[in-house]
Amino acid sequence: MRLDRREWPERMHWIDVAWVAFAIANLAAMLVFGEWETVPFHFIWVSLTLLYGFRVWRVQPTLWVLAAVMILTAGAIGIEVGRNAQPIDEITEVPLMAAMFVAMVWHARRRLTAMEEIERVSKANARLLERERRFIQDASHELRTPITVALGHAQLIQRTATDQTIGEDARIIADELLRLRRLADRLLLLAGPDDPDFLHRIPVDVETVVMAAFHRWEATPRRWLLGHVVDATVVVDADRLAVAMDALIENAVQHTSPHDSIEVATRRETGSVAITVRDSGVGIEPDDLNRIFDRFARSDPGRSRVAGGFGLGLSIVKTIVDAHGGSVRVRSAPGRGSVFELRLPVSDSPLRLPEASAPRESVGSAGTLGP
């Protein structure tokens, strides 16, 4: 609704008609029932204030209504004064009520202006976020093809090189291209939660997902521990959950040394199952705990790129878990390791295999995050 438009509001005319009838009835009551004194007068002004607060007319209609009410109520009081039914000082209530109404109009229009500005900024931000999401999706898609081609050539050179220096250079190039491919996959995943096809839910056995992730990483030099794993079924996207598990374990690997331990376990709670990844690594500073799930956040900005990764792993975990209606939290202290806990709602329905369907392109699958 534009505040500078002169037209009368076009919605819910019956309210205006009902108020006009109410105001006319009270004017008649002022003239007919003198013993009521100014009660009908106040009914008119109070109802006008309530009506404006509900309708917030535009400027010109507001001025018309205000002028009409002032003239009619002042005329009715004037007639009563002429009959000696009211004292002459009652006429002063007309400008007083009009001033109060104008003050309320000013506040109401300020509030409406602020709300319209908030709505405008909100819509602008939504458009910017949508453009950002589409740009990330498009850029990630476009990057994957040249990265894959370049990676294939680098790996071919690495395998066929007879010069050790050339082979080592090709290996470094291949490693960096793999990092770029993982980055493109993760950005594409982070840009996708609003898409209707982001999740393909099926009943999944938690033990299967946890054991698969554990076996993918157990070749990495760490002291691997497998805790208690409960028998529970969750209705999730199996591929996305595998990505979240790999990101949690990868984070533990990045913050531990070969002699540290990493334990993966699950436990059943009321209506949910908790998957925990516990490590005995360096831990996280208290000031960093509230932001580690933000995109591109690192608990130690000074770490190298190799150790620090892209700062997207934990944000991917949160994105995937939130999309499933779950939650993720962390407990940690410097020098005492960290415990990440991923909670998902448990399904009471029996485990059923999904029907055959068209294969979905796996973005950021477990294979792209593994060691």
pLDDT of amino acid 354:
43
Mean residue pLDDT across the chain: 78
Q: How far apart are CA 80 and CA 28, in angstroms?
A: 12
Confidence of residue 187 (pLDDT cuts 50, 70, 90): confident
Beta strand pairing call for 233-236 and 202-205:
antiparallel
Region 221-237: mean pLDDT is 91
Distances (CA, A) of 361 to 319, 347, 367: 19, 26, 13
pLDDT in tens, 117-174: 898 999 888 888 777 777 766 776 677 778 888 888 888 888 888 888 888 888 889 8
Distance from the first to the final alpha carbon of the chain: 57
pLDDT above 70 as % of the chain: 80
User: Amino acid identity, residue 298?
Assistant: R
User: Amino acid identity, residue 167?
Assistant: G
pLDDT of amino acid 320:
87
pLDDT in tens, 70-106: 888 888 778 777 777 677 777 788 888 888 888 888 8
Confidence of residue 196 (pLDDT cuts 50, 70, 90): low
Highest average pLDDT, of 4-13, 133-142, 337-346, comes from: 337-346
Q: Which residue has the higher pLDDT, 285 or 85?
A: 285
Region 240-246: mean pLDDT is 88
In terms of CATH architecture, what is 202-369?
2-Layer Sandwich (3.30)
Q: Which two tokens stand for residue 158?
A: 């690495």
Report domain extents, the chain: 1-191, 202-369
**8 A C-beta contact, residue 193 and residue 323:** yes
- pTM: predicted TM-score of the whole model, two decimal places: 0.53
Is the confidence at residue 307, as pLDDT, over 60? no
**8 A C-beta contact, residue 210 and residue 275:** yes
